[in-house]
Structure 1
């Protein structure tokens, strides 16, 4: 049995290692790579995995739980409260609108009972949290208007699963207690009012425990200075909260999200994020592999017309509903398209609802399996739809400027400037404004249409596009440009851009942004020479000002700051080589810190311009104010 488990693990990991890099090289998302890997190793293609894949699928679903915990960590309670209108308004409109249209269509065109049609419509109204959020994260769109709207709808759907599962037994003539596999909870037999009180009590307990139990406990664990213990504590926190929510019949993913929101203001936010992220990524990968492997090609071969037509109608209906909702929110057309295409699939909760419906005898087994095949196919189709939207449709959608559509020809880059800037947020715009003030022309690329709209109104000529695409880089003039400034907010997207530039434009000098030292290590591996860490320079400037306030000379403090940056950049390149060996890495850090302090001390004592006070404005003012002899 152990051998079988290890063999299954080898098959899954090998498929991911082979297929995902190929997908990325072809310009596709990693999700599509995982899905295709699952299809290849699944029981209907190569047959490397069979029914055993279902067990791993249950295990991999925990990746979705961890993903929502991390999202909760990034969303402070105050921000969450501000989003309540989005969550209730857009979320309820999507679920109700999609359910009603599908229900009416099934009653008119299909020979199904109304109970069957309603159950299927409810299952298909939900979208895939895992696919949508992972796609938005890869494209760096989680913090954009589209990302926030998508998240609001998905969160409402996760909450809606609870009343849907509670409602389904009312459609069945089967005794719920007789179905031993039906979703049960510890409070199932209690009166409704008592169940509500218990649920509210559990939610309140999570909130207060997060503030008065979890955080103090993490303080105690942090004092042990054992990283593995802190990681174990982070996992225990997520598992414990999710299990508690499951015991009272609520969604584990919803519980994990709540725990993340509660801890979003704690000082351990970033540490928890760093510890959980690797597990989340691996389990999500397994989840997408499982989805690909679960596609029943035998059913598709037997009923291709029904499955493909029904899948196309499902995608179209959800697309229309989402597009209309987005229009009411007064978003730009390209935002509407991205929002509608992104959530137009069925989701992982559809599998849960279909299985429950079979147990309750609401839906015949054959039909339920066909619907699950439709769900799986729609999830696989999503990355392709987004690719079509990105590569073809967005060229004709444009973004709005002063209430009118930008002309089609403005989507084409007609500039040939010496500098190209990718990413024009807070970081990139600062660089761009400095260049513009010095009469240096630059071609600006960005993928956030809200930001583009604002920048164009401010007088900047910005082009909409994904800088990871080779054809866009060519159109921007990378073949003739002298300098490329990579300033994209998302470090992984920034790295993809640099990989493309290094491969196709080796002559181009690259200046790149790095969020922290870990991002810098990745860039060093790609032979990037000019790396600018966000935290390093602002922190050194603050340190220089602190020295001046404490009485040090401005010239000496500034010189020490510049020397510190030089030594730290040299140290970073040394540490990049040792970072995979934890012991060697720690030893090197200690040695470099001691060496750096010695060098700074020797530099301080050997300064040539020891009496130069030209940097010290206060010294000059004092001299000027003294009366001449």
Structure 2
């Protein structure tokens, strides 16, 4: 007879796969699918999955790896740069939200312990959802985006003391102050020991493991370190998640951070999904439907109180109303760490059942509303705050007022964008830069540079910047997701415009080219090339030989160097070096009606790099492409072969260099 446990796992996986696929198709977060799976299969509905303690223990590992990921993102340098927003506004939001919800709990007649727990739970917002949507909408660098990320960073840190506080609240009331003090000291001592002893050990240990060059061994080592430190903190009377957070911080300071993050992604996502399934199993639909009025009231309270606290914090720190409202809309929902704290509070029986179900239902509903608020936060702010709407319209008018022609559009004006701008300026080429960092825009504008505040992924902004009259568009963002959004919009609006993009390394070239870039420059490769050039010069190689090697490398790697059109003369270049040539077939060209395979131009010493038809250019056309009247072929080869093939395409094999010799 088949094992019933295996059948439960199969049903669980099947339901999750179907629901995740369905909600992804509806463009909703996967977290809803996990929660809905738990609701449907849990003990309060179909009861397919029993509410077993071992299931909860397995799901706890999802929280462990989530906290590990947060630890990996913990950068002391980042916190120093954003310390005013992180520790100032972040602490104000968490403490004010906790106090507001504690007061609400007191009004409803709950004990102060339950009030503190409810306040801590509802002070959290969804880091995963907010960070992802802000990145997709290119709002991470905007003012409201930076504020939201800063507050979320502090919330993630605030989870650590809350994980210590909740178990202490479950102890004896008389001994609570001593228990809290002891728990705080114990946590500080354990963290100090792990950090002090772990720092000098973790780097050489990971280096030793990496030298074995085994991906399985590396992954096993990550699991060993993470779960080992989690076990140490649990044995000390703290939480598993706290040890995982420390493990993440230690590994974040090594060179293996990104590899570790990639290796644990699958474990984290699957186990975190299981955790949310167990949260869904807590939902009793009958109780929620019976208390629907209370749940809707609590939902309204969550959105209003959190929104008001965030809005007030922003205004107190000097941000205008529009930015404050957008930040409030972004952070108004409950978060995944709220569910972590809710599960922990439920284990210690700190929340009575009449409170648990309405709270759980309101948190779930806030998450369901979150994608709408996140997606349309700008539109809502423009409708409610007239000054904010007018400022955006004024920014578009400023961009349109420039009225440049034959210019270059720079998307992003960080260090890379500014360097490109200086080169263009020295060559007398006009440019217009778009950036979402208001401080950078303000400083650069005051210096007289052609930069404007604008989202380069928006159609109206690109059109206002003169995309139709531009000579080229350069995407300088370091984030490939943001670059893909800009490329997709620009390529759709102006497919004939040359578009260049920056990449971190070779792995991103194909992604950005598929999104619409004509040329992609990987900064790691260029940095290596410059280092190699300087090395050769230091070793005594002549400058001319080094320059030839650099030029040869770039000709092999980049279309823009490998395939250049020449005029009447090219000073300093070999007259026989390869180049590009455009051949217009017109209405009478011999090659009309033939496929590229039939012509077999590579056998004649040239390569077809592009085909232009009715004003639309296609790179690297397929061999099955049949030529038509009016087509323009772009071919690459040495001058002698280009001249002969041009005559061949226009007049046929009996003309010029390919004519059959007369045997008479």
TM-score bin (small chain): 0.7 to 0.9
Q: Mind listing any 5+ residue stretches in structure 2 that lack a counterpart?
A: 560-664
Q: Is the 8 A contact 2:148 2:330 kept in 1?
A: no
Match of 1:350 in 2: 338
2:376 aligned counterpart, secondary structure? helix
**Is 1:518 matched up with 2:516?**
no
CA distance in 2, matches of 1:66, 1:100: 30
Going from structure 1 to structure 2, the CA distance change for 1:325 and 1:502 (only over 3 Å counts) comes to: same
Aligned match for 2:529, one of 540, 550, 570: 540
Tell me: higher relative CO, structure 1 or 2? Use CA pairs within 8 A at least 6 residues apart: 1
Aligned match for 1:34, one of 15, 30, 35: 30
Question: Comparing both structures, which one devotes a greater share of its residues to helix?
Answer: 1
Q: How does 1:189-208 map to 2 (within 5 A)?
A: 198-208=186-196
Q: CA deviation at 1:386?
A: 1.8
Aligned match for 1:272, one of 260, 278, 285: 260
Aligned match for 1:409, one of 394, 402, 418: 394
Q: CA deviation at 1:477?
A: 5.0
Match of 2:366 in 1: 378
TM-score between the two structures when normalised by the length of structure 2: 0.69
Going from structure 1 to structure 2, the CA distance change for 1:150 and 1:7 (only over 3 Å counts) comes to: same
**Is 1:489 matched up with 2:489?**
no
Going from structure 1 to structure 2, the CA distance change for 1:120 and 1:67 (only over 3 Å counts) comes to: closer
Question: CA offsets, 1:289-330, max 9 Å, x none?
Answer: 887897766555433332223212212211221222233334
CA distance in 1, matches of 2:197, 2:88: 30
2:369 aligned counterpart, secondary structure? helix
**Is 1:310 matched up with 2:306?**
no
Match of 1:592 in 2: none
Q: CA deviation at 1:563?
A: 1.7
CA distance in 1, matches of 2:150, 2:436: 17
**Is 1:507 matched up with 2:493?**
no
Q: Mind listing any 5+ residue stretches in structure 1 that lack a counterpart?
A: 24-31, 177-189, 571-629
CA distance in 2, matches of 1:303, 1:191: 36
**Is 1:550 matched up with 2:550?**
no
Question: CA offsets, 1:56-85, max 9 Å, x none?
Answer: 887566555445544544544465567677
Going from structure 1 to structure 2, the CA distance change for 1:15 and 1:389 (only over 3 Å counts) comes to: same
CA distance in 1, matches of 2:308, 2:498: 45
Match of 1:100 in 2: 99
CA distance in 2, matches of 1:555, 1:53: 75
Q: How does 1:476-625 map to 2 (within 5 A)?
A: 476-478=465-467, 481-503=470-492, 505-526=494-515, 528-568=517-557
Match of 1:623 in 2: none
**Is 1:154 matched up with 2:155?**
yes
Match of 1:329 in 2: 317
**Is 1:456 matched up with 2:451?**
no
Q: Is the 8 A contact 1:126 1:347 kept in 2?
A: yes
Q: Specify the structure having the higher radius of gyration (Cα).
A: 2
Going from structure 1 to structure 2, the CA distance change for 1:266 and 1:33 (only over 3 Å counts) comes to: closer
CA distance in 2, matches of 1:450, 1:49: 56
Question: CA offsets, 1:230-277, max 9 Å, x none?
Answer: 122123222322333333344544433333333333333343344334
Q: CA deviation at 1:372?
A: 0.9
Going from structure 1 to structure 2, the CA distance change for 1:241 and 1:455 (only over 3 Å counts) comes to: farther
Deviates more, 1:552-561 or 1:95-104: 95-104
CA distance in 2, matches of 1:129, 1:325: 19
CA distance in 2, matches of 1:509, 1:63: 46
Aligned length: 544
**Is 1:2 matched up with 2:6?**
yes
TM-score between the two structures when normalised by the length of structure 1: 0.73
Going from structure 1 to structure 2, the CA distance change for 1:531 and 1:124 (only over 3 Å counts) comes to: same
CA distance in 2, matches of 1:568, 1:278: 34
Q: CA deviation at 1:510?
A: 2.0
Q: CA deviation at 1:37?
A: 4.2
